[in-house]
Structure 1
Amino acid sequence: MSPVSREVARPEAAPHRYVPPDLTPTAHPRWLESMLESLREDWNTACWPPLFRATADGQRPPLRHWRRVLAHFFPIVEAFPKYMGLSLAKTTYGQRPGDASARRWLLQNLGVEAKHAEWFIDWMRGIGLAPDEVFRQRPLPEVRALHEHLLDTCARGTLAEGVAASNWAVEGITGVWTREVVEPFRAYAEEGARIDAYSMMWLKVHARYDDQHPEEALEIIKLSTDASSGEPFRVQAAARKSLRMYAAALHACCKD
């Protein structure tokens, strides 16, 4: 008897396997181009408050400012998977174009978010913050306002509004400033900060984000926005509010 041939079927050889399309970049409609241009100044302001810009330029601002930012922004980091979960609840299969792709993208990114709060705590500990004290601390009003905006928009707004406010605005700008801050931040070792693989993980992971992530968020926004209604204006308003509140919260953290 001749041996039985045992071939392992590759995914691409399985014609009946369903996989939602990836969120690949497509040409922006006119309303989105207009939105991005309108938000450019707010985006740049949120990306580069004085603390981030000075750190990226190697000026090493007072470490107490970074301690205040991390202590007060921890609730935003901890809650980020919750914002995304509220957006995920709006997706399904087959009822709207792109829903399955958005659902898959959100689920994948929720998996990525799983350890971000823990890595953020490692960063806090590295610069001298006691996590238990941070957990008991009441965030600044500006930070609470940002959290409430993100929570409310992801819960009560449309899928496009929630993704614009959280994944495109807040997560998008975080991927920008961390890329230029991660290496200069190591200089704080000279001021007693513990700089190692654990304390730097949150910064390093976010610094590895490239332009693909906010572009994918924009694809969800395009797929899920009813451009024939007033929704584009609400999407723009949600994103603008996130950017301005983020910048205001950072400014409040850095007041002496």
Structure 2
Amino acid sequence: MSSSEQEVRSLTSRVPVRRYGPPPLSPSAHPRWLESMLESTRRDWDAACWPPLFRDTAEGRRPPLVYWRRVLSQFFLIVESFPKYMALSLAKTTYGRAEGDASIRRWLLQNLAVEARHAEWFIDWVRALGLEPEALFHVRPLPELQALHAHLRDTCARGTLAEGIAASNWAIEGITGVWTRDVVEPFRAYAADGARIDASAMMWLKAHARYDDLHPVEALEILKLCTDPTGDEPARVLDATRKSLRLYTSAIRACCVD
């Protein structure tokens, strides 16, 4: 081998090989069916984001702490189960067999990694309000919480991938990102009612206020990729979304009944 050939081979060997990876879920223009869904669910979305407990807390009126204890105790079922809902959606993905499929798979796996500590952070929040984990683990869910859980579980298990993502990651994660952003700082005022307000107590609230503004946007991109707009799937996605929002609102209200 000549010296020039050796030099070429040496240079070629130094060129880094680009690793394969699916494209990210970047924001794009909404198709007409998705615009229609967002408009159709706007009232239900607003109601789920701002039940009286969340609105009053965000506006500094500090509702009785007993209502927050009830909500958190009851909603532990949903928080603890959320990675399970997503795992059911993950099971529907392959890798590259359909447009965007690998990107959706990666997003779900990354989102599951983020969810890994959320149940523990939620328990820290509950403990800061005076409830022990042992009591939390044995709460009997209200019928409204059981209905929400059953809807999310069954939709992610037996619905299409789009229906499951819409019901859980778009609807539930989406509204959580809205109300936590406005509640996180006013919630500190509950220190006057005996709540322990420190870094561990606030971690769940702060984490959701920080990142859940991006996850729903990415969830919408998943809906664009995996929803067949030519059939009845857009209508089923709409129904799954609306049912999640209405059941969530009903569950929050049930926790705040005297």
TM-score calculated relative to the size of structure 1:
0.94
Q: Which residue of 2 aligns with 1:247?
A: 249
Mapping for residues 1-256 of structure 1, pairs under 5 Å: 13-15=16-18, 17-209=19-211, 211-256=213-258
Work out the CA distance in 1 between the residues paired with 2:50 and 2:42: 12
SS in 2 for 1:198: helix
Work out the CA distance in 1 between the residues paired with 2:214 and 2:173: 12
Which string of whole-angstrom CA distances, capped at 9 and with x for unpartnered residues, describes residues 12-33 of structure 1? x433x21100000111100000
Question: Offset of 1:94 from its aligned partner?
Answer: 2.0
Which string of whole-angstrom CA distances, capped at 9 and with x for unpartnered residues, describes residues 147-177 of structure 1? 0000000000000000000000001100000
Work out the CA distance in 2 between the residues paired with 1:149 and 1:196: 34
AA aligned opposite 1:244: R
Question: Offset of 1:134 from its aligned partner?
Answer: 1.5
SS in 2 for 1:208: helix
Question: Offset of 1:75 from its aligned partner?
Answer: 0.6
Identity of aligned residues (%): 72
Report which of the two structures shows the higher radius of gyration computed on alpha carbons. 2
Which string of whole-angstrom CA distances, capped at 9 and with x for unpartnered residues, describes residues 72-119 of structure 1? 000100000000000000001122111100000000000000000000
Work out the CA distance in 1 between the residues paired with 2:40 and 2:121: 34
Which string of whole-angstrom CA distances, capped at 9 and with x for unpartnered residues, describes residues 116-164 of structure 1? 0000000000001121111111111000100000000000000000000
SS in 2 for 1:25: coil
Work out the CA distance in 2 between the residues paired with 1:133 and 1:212: 34
AA aligned opposite 1:234: R
Question: Offset of 1:211 from its aligned partner?
Answer: 3.1
- Unpaired runs of at least 5, structure 1: none
Question: Offset of 1:210 from its aligned partner?
Answer: 5.1
Answer 1 or 2: which has greater helix percent.
Answer: 2
TM-score calculated relative to the size of structure 2:
0.93
AA aligned opposite 1:193: A
Work out the CA distance in 2 between the residues paired with 1:235 and 1:67: 33
Q: Where does structure 1 differ by over 3 angstroms across 4 or more consecutive aligned residues? A: none
SS in 2 for 1:243: helix
- Unpaired runs of at least 5, structure 2: 1-9
